[in-house]
Amino acid sequence: MYLPVFSKDLKNYKDKKVCLIGKVIDIQEEKKLIRIKLLDTFGFFDVVLFDVYNIKLFDTLLILGKVSEYNNNFSVVARYVSVLNGDDEILWKKFFIKKIKRNIKKNNKEDKMDEENEKEEKIYYEELPEEAKLRKQILEFIRDNDKGDGVSLKDIENFFDINEEKLLNIIKDLLSSGEIYESSPEKYKVI
Count CB-CB contacts under 10 A for residue 19: 20
Residue 18 contacts residue 6 (beta carbons within 8 Å): no
pLDDT at 27 over 90: yes
pLDDT of residue 156: 87
Indicate the residue among 52, 84, 116 that finishes a domain: 84
The verdict on 147 and 117 lying in the same domain is: yes
| Residue 125: predicted pLDDT | 40
Domain termination residue (choose one: 84, 108, 132): 84
For the domain that residue 182 is a member of, what is the CATH number? 1.10.10
Check whether residue 70 and residue 91 sit in a common domain: no
**d(C-alpha 158, C-alpha 90), whole Å:** 27
Q: What is the dihedral of CA 177, 184, 124, 45, to 10 degrees?
A: 40
42 or 131, which is more confident:
42
Higher-confidence residue: 187 or 97?
A: 187
* Mean of pLDDT values over 42-68: 88
Residue 80: beta bridge partners? 64
The beta-carbon contacts of 148-152 under 8 Å, at least 24 apart in sequence, are: 149/183, 149/184, 149/187, 150/182, 150/183, 150/184, 150/187, 150/188, 150/189, 151/187, 151/188, 151/189, 152/186, 152/187
Tell whether 80 and 91 lie within a shared domain: no
Same-domain pairing of 97 and 184: yes
Of 32, 54, 84, the position where a domain reaches its end is 84
Number of domains observed in the structure of the chain: 2
| Whether 170 and 115 share a structural domain | yes
Question: Could you read off the pLDDT of 95-141 as tens digits, one per residue?
Answer: 666 666 666 666 665 555 455 554 444 444 444 567 777 888 888 88
Asked if pLDDT for residue 46 goes beyond 90, the answer is: yes
Residues 60 and 112 in one domain: no
**What is the residue type of 117?**
N
Q: What is the distance, to the nearest Å, from the Cα of residue 12 to the centroid of all Cα atoms in its chain?
A: 19
Residues 84, 40 contacting (CB under 8 angstroms): no
Same domain? 123 vs 60? no
CA–CA separation, 189 and 49 (whole Å): 31
User: Which residue segment(s) compose the domain that 123 sits in?
Assistant: 87-190
